């Protein structure tokens, strides 16, 4: 069978969960033994979300090959347990950049360069790239934005062309909302009808409709939608709100989304998908035997999407430990010497989040100090690890002005500093230490106990590093390196061995936690937190 291309578009409103529907469909196909990959096409002009503020875009997810991508790629990896790459996230910026580069090279041989066919051809090339050499049975492509947006038009046009070129290999799933009007006591299908009309105006007939709804759809409603939107009734799929996104694949299976997709693409459907590990995960998640409260300290805590992968990693760690993880988000700017005890005294674990810049940094450092002094399990990620180094330098080693040169250029004790090669960098986009790097763990460390191996690889997203000039002093005073980059000797993990569980990592473990493979550091962190009902003074 040639590779099949499934497009997922969205209508009526944004935030309906196209990413979760795409990932759930991919999961079901994978659980039936097919190879699947998912791609996200983002209609904005930035080359990638790496330079965007979390307020604009939520978390920027990083892949093995160092691509800074949309957070939906995180869902894809967490659901499928397979890695993605730069090719899985394409933006309008990247498309235009490629076309303009070709134009400057003279590749268009004097022709006028236009949206159709040049931009649409480049979009189609990026989609087909993933299906090259039949590497996958299915390529699922999620089109960002909402049908009707000016920015989305070239993408919808590319879908129309592909459907026209290979009708038997292309399928379009359209996700819409069926709102419940309390005053009328009814579910309303009109917005769905309108959004399908809009797709039709652009020449695309959806094959399957997934209707997001608060209440169950009656057969009447399904029939009505089928009739008005030219889809058969089995292709009207209900997606009712659920308490966890991890239930969505099970729900989609109940609605026979996988069977409908396969049948429409000419496959014979036999047997059931292998979903046992997934259902076990959901069962554990919904039936915890203990409970912990982890405090997540960052400066974007009011935005749930800003720390998406950390939230999900804690959920995975909770499931494997049969432990409900309550996340108490605390804004780092709100933490002061006076209130730190009040804010943190009842939590079982403290996680200081990654981040950039000066705002809220002293609150993070105070939280680290509280965790260190009160023997509360601590996980510091990237900037969180750097804060742990600064705190230890100031309060244990007595270097009162210890800091990262990101925050204080003039400090006499630059315990966190730029690497030589970073000092020459002037461009902001794509120039950090990004993607997977190896790390060798020390055998007697808590990290080794978690990973159970000495050679690991983790993903990075930062410019600054621990300054090895200070390493001997730190180790003598009790904060030791537990993981080293074998090529550069950079410290990737710090631990305080006499503390219950205190680990700071320069990398981002949250990008590698999946449903089937919860990350060992998160799993051990939650386990350590669950074992400590109330802490004593250290």
Residues that bind ligand GLN (CB under 6 A): 354-356, 382-383, 406, 461-464
State the pairing for strand pair 433-441/170-178: unpaired
List Cα–Cα distances, 368 to 281, 298, 477, 510, in angstroms: 32, 12, 17, 19
| Of residues 287 and 457, the one with the C-beta less far from ligand GLN | 457
508 in catalytic set: yes
Candidate list 229, 323, 382, 439, residue with the active-site label = 382
- Asked if 72 and 19 count as a contact pair (C-beta separation under 8 A), the reply is yes
- Asked if 22 and 38 count as a contact pair (C-beta separation under 8 A), the reply is yes
* Beta carbon of residue 313, minimum distance to ligand GLN (angstroms, whole number): 15
CA 39, 40, 45, 47 torsion-angle sign:
negative
* Beta carbon of residue 380, minimum distance to ligand GLN (angstroms, whole number): 10
Contacts of residue 451, Cβ cutoff 8 Å, sequence gap at least 6: 441, 520, 521
- Tell me the chain's radius of gyration from C-alpha atoms: 25
Contacts of residue 103, Cβ cutoff 8 Å, sequence gap at least 6: 113
Start-to-end CA distance of the chain, whole Å, equals 63
List Cα–Cα distances, 280 to 80, 110, 318, 516, in angstroms: 16, 60, 13, 10
* Beta carbon of residue 15, minimum distance to ligand GLN (angstroms, whole number): 25
Burial pattern 95-105, b for ≥16 Cβ within 10 A else e, equals: bbebbeeeeee
CA neighbor of 63 nearest in space, from 86, 36, 90: 86
Number of alpha carbons in the 13 Å side-chain half-sphere of residue 201 = 9
| Of residues 383 and 479, the one with the C-beta less far from ligand GLN | 383
Question: Which tokens in the block code for residue 431?
Answer: 């120039």
Candidate list 323, 510, 519, 524, residue with the active-site label = 510
* Beta carbon of residue 60, minimum distance to ligand GLN (angstroms, whole number): 9
| Of residues 446 and 461, the one with the C-beta less far from ligand GLN | 461
* Beta carbon of residue 440, minimum distance to ligand GLN (angstroms, whole number): 21
CA neighbor of 488 nearest in space, from 512, 506, 503, 504: 506
CA 311, 313, 316, 317 torsion-angle sign:
negative
CA neighbor of 226 nearest in space, from 216, 237, 215: 237
* Beta carbon of residue 383, minimum distance to ligand GLN (angstroms, whole number): 3
The secondary structure of 243-265 as a DSSP string is: SSGGGHHHHHHHTTHHHHHHHHT
- Work out the widest C-alpha separation in the chain, in whole angstroms: 76
DSSP annotation of 217: P
| Of residues 206 and 504, the one with the C-beta less far from ligand GLN | 504
* Beta carbon of residue 516, minimum distance to ligand GLN (angstroms, whole number): 26
| Of residues 71 and 265, the one with the C-beta less far from ligand GLN | 71
State the pairing for strand pair 433-441/455-462: antiparallel
Candidate list 253, 413, 508, 519, residue with the active-site label = 508
| Of residues 187 and 434, the one with the C-beta less far from ligand GLN | 434
| Of residues 425 and 516, the one with the C-beta less far from ligand GLN | 425
| Of residues 355 and 377, the one with the C-beta less far from ligand GLN | 355
Q: How many CB atoms lie within 10 A of CB 474?
A: 22
| Of residues 41 and 60, the one with the C-beta less far from ligand GLN | 60
* Beta carbon of residue 520, minimum distance to ligand GLN (angstroms, whole number): 20
H helical segments located in 321-453: 340-344, 361-373, 383-395, 420-423, 446-451
* Beta carbon of residue 42, minimum distance to ligand GLN (angstroms, whole number): 21
499 in catalytic set: no
The catalytic residues are: 382, 508, 510
């Amino acid at each position: 069978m040639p590779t099949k291309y499934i497009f997922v578009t969205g209508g009526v409103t944004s935030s309906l969960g196209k990413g979760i529907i795409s990932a759930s469909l991919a999961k079901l196909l994978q659980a039936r033994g097919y190879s699947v990959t998912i791609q996200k096409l983002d209609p904005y002009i930035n080359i990638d979300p790496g330079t965007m503020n979390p307020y604009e875009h939520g978390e920027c997810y990083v892949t093995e090959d160092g691509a800074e991508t949309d957070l939906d790629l995180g869902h894809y990896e967490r659901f499928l347990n397979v890695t993605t790459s730069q090719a899985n996230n394409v933006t309008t910026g990247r498309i235009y950049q490629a076309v303009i580069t070709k134009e400057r090279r003279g590749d268009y041989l004097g022709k006028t360069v236009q949206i159709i066919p040049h931009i649409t051809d480049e979009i189609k090339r990026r989609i087909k790239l993933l299906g090259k050499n039949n590497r996958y049975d299915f390529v699922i492509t999620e089109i960002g934005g909402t049908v009707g947006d000016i920015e989305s038009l070239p993408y919808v046009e590319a879908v129309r062309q592909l459907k026209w070129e290979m009708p038997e290999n292309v399928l379009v799933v359209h996700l819409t909302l069926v709102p419940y009007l309390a005053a009328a006591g009814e579910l309303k299908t009109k917005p769905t009808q309108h959004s399908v009309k809009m797709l039709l105006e652009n020449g695309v007939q959806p094959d399957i409709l997934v209707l997001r709804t608060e209440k169950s759809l009656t057969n009447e409603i399904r029939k009505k939608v089928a009739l008005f939107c030219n889809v058969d009734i089995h292709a009207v799929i209900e997606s009712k709100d659920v308490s966890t996104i991890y239930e969505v694949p099970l729900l989609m299976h109940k609605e026979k989304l996988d069977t409908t997709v396969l049948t429409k693409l000419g496959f014979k459907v036999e047997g059931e998908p292998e979903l046992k590990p997934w259902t076990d995960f959901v069962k554990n998640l919904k039936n915890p035997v203990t409970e912990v409260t982890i405090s997540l300290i960052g400066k974007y805590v009011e935005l749930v999407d800003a720390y998406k992968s950390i939230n999900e990693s804690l959920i995975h760690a909770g499931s494997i430990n049969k432990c409900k993880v309550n996340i108490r988000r605390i804004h780092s700017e709100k933490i002061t010497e006076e209130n730190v005890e009040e804010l943190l005294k009842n939590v079982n674990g403290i996680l200081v989040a990654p981040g950039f810049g000066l705002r809220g940094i002293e609150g993070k450092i105070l939280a680290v100090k509280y965790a260190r002094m009160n023997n509360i399990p601590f996980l510091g990620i990237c900037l969180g690890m750097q804060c742990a180094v600064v705190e230890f330098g100031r309060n244990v080693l007595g270097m009162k002005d210890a800091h990262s040169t990101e925050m204080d250029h003039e400090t006499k004790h630059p315990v966190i500093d730029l690497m030589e090669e970073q000092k020459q960098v002037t461009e902001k986009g794509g120039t950090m230490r990004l993607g997977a790097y190896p790390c060798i763990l020390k055998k007697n460390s808590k990290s080794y106990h978690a990973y159970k191996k000495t050679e690991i690889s983790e993903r990075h997203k930062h410019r600054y590093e621990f300054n090895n000039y200070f390493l001997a002093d730190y180790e003598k005073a009790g904060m030791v390196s537990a993981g080293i980059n074998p090529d550069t000797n950079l410290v990737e993990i710090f631990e305080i061995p006499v503390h219950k569980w205190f680990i700071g990592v320069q990398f981002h473990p949250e990008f590698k936690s999946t449903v089937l493979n919860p990350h060992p550091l998160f799993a051990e962190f939650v386990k350590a937190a669950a074992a400590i009902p109330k802490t004593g003074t250290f």
